[in-house]
Amino acid sequence: MVMAQVGAVLPAAGVLAGCGEPRIDIDKTTTFIEAAVAKQVGAPVKEVVCPEKVLVKASATFTCVVVGTDGTKGEARLKQKDDAGSLTFSAPFLNTKAAERIVQRQLRRQTKGATVSCPQIVTLKKDSRFRCQATTGSRTKTVSARQTDATGNFTYRVG
């Protein structure tokens, strides 16, 4: 199994009072999501794009888009726990670094020095497919993978 979902609690994500209704501090929120995804999934993050203005309201939800440095994207879903701006979030992404290691280990049994490169952001979803590139010597092959469940298990074929 490949480590799966990023989930965390962001206590008091920062409330901006200013003029009008209090709202979530989006800069603080995006920084937190970026660090959590990078740490827990191993994916380098180019940016996190959230709505510009999110009002503070217990149980309200919103979505941010996480973009890897390779341009791949996935959604992080956030829910406000209370009226103080505390958030929980879920980013159901495959740990593609771990997936690369699994495939690479198998390929190295056949070809010494094989390397594998997968997309940085892959959303966990049963039967969803993703492709990686395997380099064996001077040849590059496509690795076609299919997620067998929504927790990070997958099968693959090198073609």
Indicate the SS3 state at residue 34: helix
- Report pLDDT for 4: 46
pLDDT recorded at residue 40: 82
Closest Cα to residue 37, out of 155, 159, 120, 136? 120
**Residue ranges of E strands in the chain:** 6-10, 15-16, 23-24, 45-49, 61-68, 73-80, 87-91, 115-117, 129-136, 139-147, 154-158
Which segments of the chain have a pLDDT < 70? 1-19
Task: Tell me how far apart the alpha carbons of residues 57 and 82 are, in angstroms, rounded to a whole number.
Answer: 7
DSSP 8-class letter at 1: -
CB 80 within 8 A of CB 60: yes
- pTM given for the model: 0.85
pLDDT attached to residue 18: 60
Burial 118-151 (b: 16+ CB within 10 A, else e): bbbbbbbeeeeebebebbbeeeebebebebeebe
Q: What is the pLDDT of residue 83?
A: 87
The identity of residue 154, as a single letter, is F
| pLDDT single digits (tens) 38-48 | 888 888 999 99
Query: Which position has the token pair 């997968």?
Result: 118
